[in-house]
Copies of this chain bind each other. A is one copy, B any other.
């Protein structure tokens, strides 16, 4: 069985089983500020569980490169997690379907500039993988008292290629 995964372009349709793509729609939902600003409204299914609340954090991640060795998938059972890049560089987004409580075969997506993503609550995903420095992202996720983390190590790893 091949362990090679080819990165696909990130589209809302392809990513829908895993989460939301944060990008401009064809037209804004509303023009505000005397017509000078388009509001593309409420693009992410946020879910922080009954005990959590929303927070904004910044993540500063080391850039990776292709071929990328995928050794770890994780999920947050108690909350969604959104990533907004603070740069215009593409980054790599890795997800996997859930198969009886474990991740199935992963899929990899490559963003275009000005795309962010929101992982739905409980979605298996790879760690943050920028491809360029600085690897800076605003993250909207659950603030709460629990660890809210499940990790699965992959042996042998998958290899993600462009």
Enumerate A14-31 residues with CB–CB distance to B below 8 Å. Answer: 22-24, 28
Whole-angstrom CA separation of A63 from B127 in the bound complex: 34
A85, B55: Cα distance in complex, Å: 17
Q: How many residues in A have their beta carbons less than 8 Å from beta carbons of B?
A: 48
List residues of chain B with CB within 8 A of the CB of A61.
33, 36-38
Q: How far is the CB of A151 from chain B (nearest CB, A)?
A: 10
A65 within 8 A of B: no
Instruction: Give the oligomeric copy count.
Output: 2
* A57 is an interface residue with CB less than 8 A from chain B: yes
A33 in contact with B114 given A54-B140, A87-B88 (CB within 8 Å): no
Residue pairs across A and B with Cβ atoms less than 8 A apart, 11 shown, are A24-B58, A24-B60, A28-B60, A36-B62, A40-B57, A42-B56, A46-B54, A46-B56, A54-B54, A56-B116, A114-B136
